[in-house]
């Protein structure tokens, strides 16, 4: 059989180019597949192309957010764990079901996928979304599903430079993914994670280029972050990646820090007064963070539980996405 030119578009009138003619075919195919329950074979016959093309069109439709699949947690009779967490900690919990047997890196991956799909529907136009960085957020960023929005902005929550690398590529990759998925502007925060001297921070915070970012953060409608936990078996990026020296780590211990969100530290009871490092950290003021409408915390792995407890005590999150094992440990003790 020989080729024929673009057999799918049989209404060949207007050739608008940007939306991609392909995406219209994807919509057609998606309607037939998901709304009419035809098989790919049937669709292929009807659109005069091969089944594999349809398979690929459907992939496209899913990836670009044309098709949205949501699993709704029928409110009241949600799984026991989620209810308990909501009652005890006052956050909306999304527990990711995972058997205990799976290894940590797979847990992270699966939590990340589900987090990405849970976040998707919550994003809407004109949003200003603060995004932290770290291994958790990195994993999430790889699985975002696309969603078209107008005039949205992704803003970096805290600096990422350190003494060894500028950290820029790592953090900016994460931001870029978010921006691309939601069609949003990306605003990086080009400062180190920690200043060496608090005075430098004070000075920088007066710079107009910095104030622009701070202003965006001030107007955030949504924040997305993981937590760091000092006691973690595998310590977070922050505690091992060359951001802090021996002396810094010592002051954290003295200050009874249990964890951090976006490189701002807190204690087990949620307080953060007088924690020395915070005055040099570029993360958002935690009191102010607590006023953001929607604050989504993603946690994977039981080792982060101490940090998580602190973050919850501090009321940093409105929504919590975490694996089942951690959820169990959170309530069962």
Tokens 């995004």 correspond to what residue?
Answer: 131
Q: Find the shortest distance in angstroms from Cβ 179 to DNA.
A: 20
Cα 290 from Cα 280, distance rounded (Å): 20
Q: Give the nearer residue to a second copy in terms of CB position, either 34 or 170.
A: 34
Q: Is 313 in the site for a second copy (CB under 8 A)?
A: no
Could you count the other beta carbons within 10 Å of the beta carbon of residue 13?
6
Q: Is the Cβ–Cβ distance between 294 and 222 less than 8 Å?
A: yes
Query: Which of 289, 322, 324 shows the shortest CA–CA distance to 308?
Result: 322
The 43-62 site mask, x for binding a second copy (CB under 8 A), equals: ---xx-------------x-
Q: Find the shortest distance in angstroms from Cβ 15 to DNA.
A: 10
Q: Find the shortest distance in angstroms from Cβ 48 to DNA.
A: 7
Cα 210 from Cα 158, distance rounded (Å): 11
Q: Give the nearer residue to a second copy in terms of CB position, either 146 or 267.
A: 146
User: Please, which of residues 35-54 interact with DNA by CB under 7 A?
Assistant: 39-41, 49-53
- Tell me the angle at which helices 80-89 and 324-331 cross, rounded to the nearest 10 degrees: 50
Count of residues touching a second copy (by CB under 8 A): 44
* Position among 29, 32, 58, 330 found at the interface with DNA (CB under 7 A): 58
Q: Which does 53 bind (CB under 5 to 8 A by kind): DNA, a second copy, none?
A: DNA
Q: Give the nearer residue to DNA in terms of CB position, either 21 or 318.
A: 21
Q: Find the shortest distance in angstroms from Cβ 18 to a second copy.
A: 9
Tokens 């994807």 correspond to what residue?
Answer: 26
User: Please, which of residues 133-192 interact with a second copy by CB under 8 A?
Assistant: 148
Q: How would you label 180-216 residue by residue, b for 16+ Cβ within 10 Å and e otherwise?
A: ebbebebbbbbbbbbbeeeeebeebeeeeebeebbeb
User: Please, which of residues 65-124 interact with a second copy by CB under 8 A?
Assistant: 65-74, 77, 79-80, 96-99, 101-102, 110, 113-114, 117-118
* Position among 11, 206, 247, 274 found at the interface with a second copy (CB under 8 A): 11
Query: Which of 255, 262, 260, 308 shows the shortest CA–CA distance to 282?
Result: 262
Q: Is the Cβ–Cβ distance between 282 and 159 less than 8 Å?
A: yes
The 3-22 site mask, x for binding DNA (CB under 7 A), equals: x-x-xx-------------x
Q: Find the shortest distance in angstroms from Cβ 222 to a second copy.
A: 20
Q: How would you label 265-274 residue by residue, b for 16+ Cβ within 10 Å and e otherwise?
A: bbbeebebee
**C-alpha of 140 from chain center:** 5
User: Please, which of residues 156-195 interact with DNA by CB under 7 A?
Assistant: none
What DSSP character marks residue 197?
S
Tokens 């002396």 correspond to what residue?
Answer: 247
Contacting positions for a second copy (CB under 8 A): 11, 13-14, 16, 19, 24, 27-28, 30-32, 34-38, 46-47, 61, 65-74, 77, 79-80, 96-99, 101-102, 110, 113-114, 117-118, 148
User: Applying CB under 7 A, which residues contact DNA?
Assistant: 1-3, 5, 7-8, 22, 33, 39-41, 49-53, 55-56, 58-59
């Amino acid at each position: 059989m020989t080729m024929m030119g673009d057999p799918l578009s049989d209404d060949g009138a207007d050739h608008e180019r940007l939306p991609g003619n392909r995406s219209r075919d994807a919509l057609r195919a998606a309607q037939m597949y998901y709304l009419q329950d035809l098989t790919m074979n049937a669709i292929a016959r009807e659109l005069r192309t091969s089944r594999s093309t349809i398979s690929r069109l459907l992939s496209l439709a899913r990836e670009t957010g044309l098709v949205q699949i949501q699993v709704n947690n029928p409110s009241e009779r949600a799984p026991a764990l989620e209810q308990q967490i909501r009652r005890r900690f006052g956050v909306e919990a999304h527990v990711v079901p995972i058997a205990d047997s799976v290894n940590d890196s797979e847990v992270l991956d699966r939590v990340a996928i589900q987090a990405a799909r849970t976040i998707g529907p919550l994003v809407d136009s004109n949003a200003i979304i603060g995004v932290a960085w770290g291994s958790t957020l990195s994993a999430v960023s790889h699985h975002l599903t696309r969603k078209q929005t107008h005039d949205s902005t992704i803003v970096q929550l805290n600096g990422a430079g350190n003494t060894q690398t500028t950290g820029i590529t790592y953090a900016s990759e994460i931001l870029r993914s978010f921006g691309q998925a939601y069609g949003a502007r990306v605003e990086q925060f080009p400062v180190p994670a920690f200043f060496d001297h608090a005075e430098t921070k004070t000075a920088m915070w007066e710079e107009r280029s910095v104030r622009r970012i701070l202003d965006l953060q001030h107007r955030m409608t949504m924040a997305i972050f993981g937590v760091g936990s000092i006691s973690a078996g595998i310590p977070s990026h922050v505690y091992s990646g060359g951001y802090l020296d021996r002396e810094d780590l010592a002051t954290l211990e003295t200050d009874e820090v249990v964890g951090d969100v976006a490189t701002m530290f807190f204690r087990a009871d949620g307080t953060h007064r007088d924690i020395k490092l915070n005055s040099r950290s570029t993360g958002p003021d935690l009191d102010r963070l607590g006023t953001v409408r929607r604050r989504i915390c993603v946690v994977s792995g039981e080792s982060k539980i101490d940090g998580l407890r602190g973050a919850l005590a501090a009321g940093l999150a409105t929504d919590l996405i975490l694996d089942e094992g951690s959820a169990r440990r959170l309530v069962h003790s």
